[in-house]
Structure formats: C-alpha cells, structure tokens
Chains A and B, each alone.
Chain A
Amino acid sequence: MAFNLTRRKFLQTASLAAAAVPLSKVVSASTGVTKAPLDAKGTNGDKTVVGGICEMCFWRCQLVGKVRDGRLMKLEGNPKSIDNGTAICARGNAGVKLLYDVDRLKYPMKNVGKRGEPKWKRISWKEALDECGSKLKSTVDKYGAQGICVFPHGSSAKYPMHYFERAVGTHNVSEASFFQCRGIRDTAYVATIGKAPGEKIDMPNTKVLFFIGDHLGENVHVSHIKAYIQGLQNGAKLIVADPRFSASAAKADIWVQIKPGTDTAYILAIMNYLVKNNKYDKKFVEEHTDGFEEFSAAISEWSLEKAAKECDIPAEQIKEVAEMLAANAPNVAIHPGRHVSWYGNDFQRQRALACLTGILGAYYVKGGWVPSKGPKVGGVSWAKEDHGHKYNLNFDHHEDEKVHPFNPPGTPTELIRDCAISGKPYPIKSCVVWGQNPMQTIPGQEKMKDLFRAMDFVMCVDVMPTDVTMWADILLPEASYLERYDYIKKGTQWDLSKEHQQYISARIPFIPAMFERKDQIYITNEIAKRMGHEAKIPVKTIEEMVDKSLATANLSIEKLKAEDGIHIQPGKDPYGIPEDFEVLLYNEDIEDAGHPGAPTYKPVEQPPKGFARLLYGRAPVHTFNRSQNNVWLKNAMPDNPVWLNDQVAANLGLIDGDVVGFVNSEGVESRTTTTVKVTPGIRKDCVYMYHGYGSANPLLTIGVGAGVDDQSLITKLAVDPETGCNGMRNNFVKLIKDGKVLDIPA
C-alpha cells in the first residue's frame, strides 16, 4: 500500500479538514443524486409499455415491455398481435440484454490512432457531426457524389441511405440483405412472375411443403414458423432437400440428401418429369405462362437418371417427390428461400423454383404462393432525384447496358470495392457504414480492409462495436430499437384461412435512449445541414416521420398508443389469380442479356482432393453475428460445432467434442477453434457450421473468439453472373487437429 496512513487515522486527524477545504473548490456543485421525498408505495407491479417492434432480426415481431423503476425487465409478444401473438423467439426475449449490453456504443468517438487500430476518444456530438459533415463535403467537392460509398443495413439505415442516394447522389450503395442474402431470389422472381416472392407461401393450408435448403426451426421467424408448424399439424407432407439432416429435415416425410450445388439440376429433373408425363397444370400453363415450348425443350435433357447421377440421389426418390407434388397440385408450397446467395449459379435456381410453382399451377391458390393483402401505409423520405448513369458502376458505357442486368437495387459490392481500391474508373474516398458489418457479412475480409485503407474518411453508425467499427474514423452510437421511434410494421393474420384482418403498428420506444445515443433522423439531418442540403430535409424528427407515415392511414402515434400499439382493421381475401398474372417460363430479356432464358443448371466447382465443402446456416438463437455478444444467447449456444459425417470422422480418428481448427483451399486458417459434432446426418463431401460465430472484435467482450467464423474461411467468391451477387458456398476446408492438417477422405 502506497499511503502511509490508514483511512481511520486520516479521517481523525486535522489533515482531513486541511485537505477538505481546497477539495471543495475543485468539485462541481451538482450531483446526479438529489434529495427526494420517499416514493409512495404501490407502484411495485411492473408497468406494461406498448408499441415496441423487435429488431433482433428482420421479421420484426410486435412487443410489449415490462418496466420496473425505469429498467426494462422483460419483453413479451404484444397480446393484441395477429402476427406473433404473445410469442417471441429466444432472440426477441434476449433483447433486454442488447439494450443493457455494457459493450454497446454510448458516446460519439473519434479515432486518434491509426485506421483499423483505433485509439478511441469520446467527443461531443457537435465535434463528431462537424467532422463527418466537413469530411464528406470535401469528398463530394473534390471527387463528386460518387466519391462516397455506403454500406447500410436494417430499418434505421433506410433514411440515411436515401439521403446519400437521392440528395447527395451516389449510386455506390450496397445493402448486404440484397447482395449477400435474398437479392437473387427477388430479382429472379421479378424476372419470372413480375414480383418479389417474399416467403409468401400459404403453409398452413398446403398439402405439400417443398424446401430447398430452407432450415426452418434453425432459421426462426416467429409467424413464419407458426405457419410452417400449423401446416404440418394440418397434415401437410414435407419434402426437404439438404445435404444435412437439418431441423426441417428432422420433421420431413422425405429427406433428399442432395449433393451441394446441384439443386437446379434436381428441380429441372422434377419439372422435366412433370412435363414429359403430362403431370403439369395444363390449364394454368396455357392461361398464365409464356414460353412453355422453349422451356420444355431446354430442360428436356434432365432425365431422372441424369439428375440422380448429378445430384447423387436415387432416381426413384426424384420421381417420388415429383409424383407427390403432382398429386397434390396446385395446393403445394414451393418455398422461395431467403438467404439464397450460395454457389454463383443461384439466379437460375431461383428461376427454376418460380417456374416449378408455375407448372404446378400453385400461384394464388390455397396452399400455394399467395401474397396476403395488407394495408397501405405511405412512407416519408428524401425526394427522389435522377442522377443519371454516368457514375453507375453497374453500367457498361460501351454496351450502353447494365453489367449485371438483374442486379438488386444499389450497386453490387464487388464493383464498389474494385473501384474504391483501384481508383478506376473514378476515386471513391469516403465510406459510410450504417448498421451493416461488411467485415463479416461480405466475404473477402482483406479486400474490405483494402477498401477502408483507400479512404480519406470512414464513419460508422451502429449500436454495437461490430468488427467493422474498428475501421471508423468517427464512430456514432445509435439508439437501439427499444429506445427509438422508427419502423412501421404492417401485415395480415398469418393463417390466410382465418378471418381476414390487417394490422398496422409502429415502433415506439420503451425507454428513453440511454447515454448519448441518437436516432437516424437526427444524425442524417445534422450531416445534411453540414453538407448543404438543409432545404431538402423531409422531416425534422423521427416522431414526425412516423406520424406523417401513419397519417396516410389515418393514424398517429397517439392513436396507436391508445390502441395498445396495434391498429387492426378488416382485411381482404387474398386468393384468386389476377387476370394479367404471367409466369415467364422462358424469358427473352434474360437471353438477350446473354444468359440462358430458360432455367439452366450450371455445375459448380468441386472440392479438391482432401477437402470438404464448407456449408453454413442459421442458429435459432442468433442473427448472424449481431447477437453474438448477448450474454443470454451466448449461454444458450456458446459455440458452433462443426458437423462432420460419422464415417469421415471415424476415418480421421475424430470423436464428438474434439477441438479442431480449419484451413481452406487457399491456405487461410481459422483464427479460432470449435468442437466436432459427429453425425450420420451430413454428407461426406461437406462440413457444416452455424454462421456468425468467432467474432474477431475484442470490443465484444462476450462474443469474441467463441466458435469459428465461417466467413473468415470464405475467401473465394463466386459471382452470380445475372445479378452480381456473391456465392459463398464454393469454399473448401480441411480440419486441423493438434496442429496437424487432416485430409478429408473422398
């Protein structure tokens, strides 16, 4: 002990008095604790607060909060909800722990060290916004609006994304949810039926459910799971094609243990069988499809035998599935998928699913693909402006057409990264990351780092210190979904056979934003003012935005609060096909753009000798890596064991629980290790793990280093030619045990 007095002695001596006088001069007069009368008793029961909308994932269930003494104690499903009801999933329940996560961003910070090796210093909002405003403005002044690239994600990123796209005028915006997730699904269905499919299949009322890789149960969205389980309870047959005995496969009537990458061949063979044997819906094909001849000719090579060989499954089983679909058509639900950027041949697979639904006549019928008729609520955002094609990286100026003709909105990630790193065709010098973690959601981590190194300025807005935030110059703390107004959630009852109802709800905070966290409207507007766009600002506050949107449906925040957070009104019958609905079995525009106009299978690269294909998927308690630092969720599933075929394991001498690392075919090793899960429930040519584990960011004190980060091993990127989206399942790994690299037997 350094001090030569004890506390007691010091307090008894005159030294205290002598010391205390000067002390009193340098302390501030106010304290955070003030004298107050004793609270009246009787407020012991927790207060129920309404109006919450979950954002632990993007399904966005409706919540109520239980608040005690200003502390949010618990989240529950809103009993008035006709979507999730009183139910919320594990992640929803654990939202409290995100709110109170000690690692969460609290104040604006400036990096006074090197980019990527930050030394953070807390600064004031004024200083932070001045810096963002002036740096972004100087980029625009020097290089033009295209000098800014934006990586947005989530509902709070919409408003700033529109600002940068519309008011500032950059095309260089890339949303992970499109390019690395479901974008291909949407554009492929748009190219087939004219609309994005969502996951709008009428599962509760179907006779057959057909999943290609969908692993509902591990992938959890509450009302979607309700619909799925209701369908099974009502007697629907379930067919699951997956190299792995997934949560869905475990409930399936038929498990198709398909070879990875060959799904399109499988679907083509089913369709060819239906066509050749006259088991398709002729009336529907006649009335609502186009290009049947070209289509049937193009797929005619796909005999059951050919597909059986390609997909490594019995021909008899393909026939069984085709027969089951035909026998129950049109009341069959072909799931359009969600995360579909797999192998770089995905646009064609998604087209095939849309066509299969078509030849079975399963659009707008009971148990088929049926978009529910929800209420109309207008949105409010920045006014659209035309900024031309000149600086659109997805536009080939020689050919005067798009590079990836069926790209989702925004610019493909690779085009932005290549341009930013090379400076060609023009410099990109500032980067805005808003709620996205491109270090983990976009494959090619080194390339992402190179992008950041090429920048003059990087700003990040987030609730958590995710991996990407280490690359920010200015890091801004955003109010979480429990602390802000925001998103308007609307829809219908999930079982379309029940009374038709519509609902409208809006996100209303349960507690005020803690520390100095701010919402997206404040942050965007303050930056806009500093970049000279004050006159274009569409709304002053987030409450104003929500109220203006609600007003289009004759509602307001106050009215919603009075209705327990959810407005319910009569709905409409969603069944019945629109007259002009058309399925383009063969799409000439695709052919004209240089790609196959009928669904076509393109084989994918096979694992080199000694390697297995790396597959990944969802854990029911996590939303990618966003929830890795949640102490409750971490405890529920602390790591992501790698699934390994039992015979392969026996060959390698591995047993359940052995600790292994990985090296991929490009020599990249995993930073961390995980355990082996030995099971007959996976093919020999692949291994599987939950996605989102093994975060590298030490700022996440709970999540860091738990399990293995699959993304760090995904270094080879397939690019889906029609869409420019990334295929992530063409990476191959070997296991490492005790420093020894193990060859996977063929």
Chain B
Amino acid sequence: MQYGMIIDLERCVGCHACTIACRAEWEVPVPYQRNWVKRLGPTMTDDGMASTYYPGLCNHCDKPPCVDECPADTVEMTFTDYKSGKTKTMEVAATWKDPFDGSVQVDKERCLGCGACADACPYGARYVNPDLADDDSEGKVDKCTYCKPRVEAGLIPACVQTCITDARIFGDLSDPNSEVSKYVKKGAKGLEVKGGHLGPNSRYFGNKKDMGLLFADYTPEMADMGSVKRRAMMASMVKPAMKKAKDIGLLGLAGAMLVKGLSDNEDSK
C-alpha cells in the first residue's frame, strides 16, 4: 500500500480551507504549517495568461531524503498494518517510512529537534516546533502525517474533509482502481526534484497551462546535503550530553510500566 493525495487544480480555488483545518486539527502553531497554499501568477506563459495555486504538503516520498538524515539512535520498532493486522519489525531512527501505508512519520518522543530532516526536505514540508522543546531537545519536528490517526480511525484527512470543491482526493496509489490511481492514469504528477528520483506521492492534476506554471515555479532542487549532514553530525556530537536524558527516558519507561502493572492489579481486585 502507498497512500497518496491528489490535488485537482481544475477544482482548487485557492481558498485556504485545507491549511486552516489542518491547523485546527493538529494544533499547529502560527507561523508554522504542515500544509500551505501559494498563489501563482497571473503571469504570461507559452499557453497564455495563467494563474493557479500550489497547495503543498509532505509528499511521503518513495525515497524520502529526510528519513536517512535523522541522527537519533535507532531502535527496533514493530509496525502493524491496521487493516490486515500483519506486523513487521524494523530498525528506525526518530523518523521513518511506514512499511505498510508508505507514509512518513515522526516519533516526537525520540526526536532531538536538530532539524536535519527539515533541512533535507526539498519541499519545506517539515518544521521544528520550538514550543515542544524539553530537557532533551530544542523542539520537536512536526509534519503532515496524511492524518494517520484519523485515517486509522476510519476518517479521511482533515484537509480532504474540509475541501470545499473536492479538489483533494486521498487514497492508495498501489490500488489501480482507487480514485487517486485513476488520476495518475489521467496524468497527475508529483513535483519531482530536478535530476532526482524521490517519488513524491502528493500529486497534481490540471490543465497544461496551470501545470506548466506550477512545475516551472515550484520544481525544487535537492537540498544541500553537505549542510544537512553537518547539522546531523553536530546533533550526534552532543549525544553524550543527551545520554543522560536518554537514561532518564528509559527510567521513565520502566516507571510507567510499573504503574501500569499496579493499576492492572487494582483493576483485577
């Protein structure tokens, strides 16, 4: 399975409902954002005067460059397909690509807040929320999750639900019969980086003029990985200091289990 989102520019009117609904749903503080709408043009193109929108969000890439840059220690994590119940165990840092639904997720508990992943993202789809800073970090990274908690509860993403023209369509790109796959067959395309193969899964559909304008204005370059790596390295170097924090984290985990054990006992009384 690979979740994906289509944005139909023929339908989109650039109203910003999606960005505000996301803010409300996930308490995203101003001025940060998980998704955005930019107005393009009016400008003269080869196909005539054009003006359209760039409603952007995380592309949950096939090969997400952000995931590799996370300097947090890896842990073994077991993933469960909420549909089939199948499980899979992988070594992951604090951010990963879900082996079942293909979405890119973050574990805020273990995030160091270094921002290397945000720097690595050519779309600017991640931000470090400094309000969530704690003793172990300067903040926590936040991003679009394709509304994973909502989707797993049987809802659709908040931006899709509120879209006033049904310009946003969410679904499984690996299912050829899904609405999103039909759009891909009709020509929906992701904003692939120049000369790269990230495989963005948020894709755009529109007429030639509007698509031309969008791709001319917002085809990104790969991030300067040199500086990303430096950032990640620095975060790793301060790890000795973080170690203390980690120990506390482990203690906290044990403590929580103890409490849970006790309350279980109480329940059984």
Contacts and interface: CB of A to CB of B under 8 A. Distances in A.
Given A247-B51, A631-B30, A93 B17 contact: yes
Given A250-B41, A632-B23, A87 B17 contact: yes
B164 interface: yes
Interface string B208-227: 00100000000000000000
B11 A229 contact: yes
Nearest to A230: B165
B24 A74 contact: yes
A173 interface: no
A253 to B, nearest CB: 11
A225 B42 contact: no
Interface in A209-233: 216-218, 220, 222, 225-226, 229, 232-233
A74 B23 CA distance: 9
A84 B17 CA distance: 13
A621 interface: yes
Contacts of A177: none
B81 interface: no
B20 interface: yes
Contact of B10 (A218, A225, A232, A636): A232
B202 interface: no
B162 A76 contact: yes
Given A631-B30, A680-B42, A681-B51, A225 B162 contact: no
Nearest to B210: A250
B77 interface: no
A620 B21 contact: no
A251 to B, nearest CB: 8
A250 B162 contact: no
Contacts of A415: none
A90 B17 contact: yes
Contacts of B19: 90, 636
B42 A679 contact: yes
A88 interface: yes
Give the interface size class of chain B.
20 to 34
B162 A88 contact: yes
A311 interface: no
A216 B13 CA distance: 8
Contacts of B31: 635
Contacts of A377: none
Nearest to B51: A250
Contacts of B41: 245, 250, 679, 681
A245 B42 contact: yes
B251 interface: no
A681 B162 CA distance: 30
Given A250-B50, A250-B52, A681-B49, A633 B13 contact: no
A86 B49 contact: no
A620 B13 contact: yes
A323 B138 CA distance: 65
Interface in A57-87: 73-77, 84, 86-87
A217 B161 contact: no
Which of B42, B44, B163, B210 lies at the interface centre, i.e. has the most chain A CB atoms within 10 A of its CB? Answer: B42
Contacts of A233: 10-11
Contact of A217 (B13, B44, B49, B163): B13
Interface in B1-21: 10-11, 13-17, 19-21
Contacts of B52: 250
A692 to B, nearest CB: 15
A220 B164 CA distance: 9
B49 A87 contact: no
A681 B42 contact: yes
B152 interface: no
A225 B20 contact: no
A680 B44 contact: yes
B134 interface: no
Contacts of B43: 679-681
A471 to B, nearest CB: 31
Interface in A84-114: 84, 86-90, 92-94, 96
A75 B24 CA distance: 8
Contacts of A96: 24
B131 to A, nearest CB: 15
Contact of A620 (B11, B15, B49, B167): B15
Contacts of B166: 87
B13 A636 contact: no
Nearest to A84: B164
Interface string B24-45: 1100001100000100011110
A620 B42 contact: no
Contact of A88 (B10, B23, B164): B164
A632 B37 CA distance: 13
Given A229-B11, A250-B52, A93 B165 contact: no
Interface in A630-671: 631-633, 635-637
Contacts of B14: 217-218, 247, 620
A329 B19 CA distance: 40
Contacts of B50: 250
A255 interface: yes
A216 B164 CA distance: 12
Interface in B65-107: none
A249 B41 CA distance: 12
Nearest to A216: B13
Nearest to B20: A93
Contacts of B210: 250
B249 to A, nearest CB: 24
Interface in A315-363: none
Given A93-B23, A96-B24, A680-B49, 20 more contacts: A73-B24, A87-B163, A87-B166, A90-B15, A90-B17, A90-B19, A90-B20, A93-B20, A93-B162, A217-B14, A220-B13, A226-B165, A229-B165, A245-B49, A249-B42, A621-B16, A632-B23, A637-B16, A681-B42, A682-B42
19 contacts: A75-B24, A76-B21, A87-B164, A89-B17, A90-B15, A217-B14, A222-B164, A225-B13, A229-B167, A232-B10, A247-B14, A251-B10, A621-B20, A632-B23, A632-B24, A679-B41, A679-B42, A679-B43, A680-B42
A-B pairs with lowest CB-CB distance, top 7: A681-B42, A217-B13, A90-B16, A93-B20, A245-B42, A250-B51, A74-B24
